[in-house]
Amino acid sequence: MAKEHKRESGFIGIDAVVFGATDLSVPRKLFADFGLKKLKDSKSGLVFATEIGSEIVIRPSGAKDLPPKINPACEFREVIWGVASPRDVERIAADLARDRAVRRDRDGTIHTVDDGGVNIGIRVWRHGKEPKRAALPLNAPGARGRVDAPSPIYDRARPFRMGHIVFAVPDVKRAERFYTHRLGFSLSDRYAGGAATFLRYAPRADHHNLFMLRMPSRATDLHHIAFEVHDIHEVFGGGLHFSKLGWKTAVGPGRHPISSAYFWYFANPLGGMLEYFSNPDFVTEAWKPTNFRVNRFSEWHLVDGLPAPRETIMRPSLKTAKAMSNA
């Protein structure tokens, strides 16, 4: 089994997340306001995309062959992971078919259920990959990287990709074994005693792409989906814009000490939460997992979001000011 932990998994990212909805008008506004690009809008459902192309798919709750709800109170239906090649799909399908039902679509996507009770799909990655580009220059003592230029201000967020997804599962240790032993994910960190586990889909990746935790109810449920934006300024700009449109802050903004990322969580009416995040740790084979004995959710966070900023007061023109003073 040890060799399985070290092999390349073939996974590239979260290709799509599927929801159901009794009223498509709610997710139509939700994901447009959140900053995703609408690709499809019809009676058969909605499709929204991140900048890289990974998708949020919403279909009417009673649609034929839509996977069942993860939880009676949640409309999450399935997460679909992207892999590098058809060979990866076939390898994974053959292994999983040994002990569970595996269904295949005409396009080659396979569907099954993991050991935590979560519906998962696997297909060849259909989207773009992370481009090479210059990072936002920062200014620090002795290292003035940004000169004669202000930092950006974002009037809203445009999420780059889905960086990770989080589930509550009844047995974290069992769920971890499924992903590490069967799918080749790597362990990043844990909360001790089987309370939670942070996993990444490749040895060199973000600190986590999948996080699973045990809730007091021991139920299986969606906790949140995390969307990466370009920098901390976009976390704040996106969060302020989304709040202004009436969507409720769940937690944040704040900063995670595990993964180092800045975050802002919002309630998702379809279930769980939606997160803007930026600046996650990137780890390699040299990373040593830690068993944390205390919950280290945040270094700091606000509970109700940022207060609405005062509208900027425009100064009158010189001509108007003179007229006012002479009145």
pLDDT at 157: 98
The answer to whether domain 10-129+157-301 has CATH 3.10.180.10 is: yes
Those residues whose C-beta lies under 8 Å from the C-beta of residue 160, and which sit 6 or more positions away, are 50, 51, 52, 227, 228, 229, 230
pLDDT at 225: 98
What distance in Å separates the CA atoms of residue 35 and residue 244, rounded to the nearest whole number?
13
Read off the pTM. 0.91
CA of 284: how far to CAs of 184, 258, 279, 281, 289, in Å? 14, 15, 16, 10, 11
pLDDT at 3: 40
Digit-by-digit pLDDT tens for the chain (327 residues) are 334 444 567 999 999 999 999 999 999 999 999 999 999 999 999 999 999 999 999 999 999 889 999 999 999 999 999 999 999 999 999 999 999 999 999 999 999 999 999 999 999 999 987 777 767 778 889 999 889 989 999 999 999 999 999 999 999 999 999 999 999 999 999 999 999 999 999 999 999 999 999 988 889 999 999 999 999 999 999 999 999 999 999 999 999 999 999 999 999 999 999 999 999 999 999 999 999 998 889 898 998 888 876 665 566 666 666 666 666
Closest CA to 130 of 80, 180, 204, 189: 204
Closest CA to 188 of 82, 115, 259: 259
pLDDT at 308: 72
What distance in Å separates the CA atoms of residue 59 and residue 48, rounded to the nearest whole number?
12
pLDDT at 303: 85
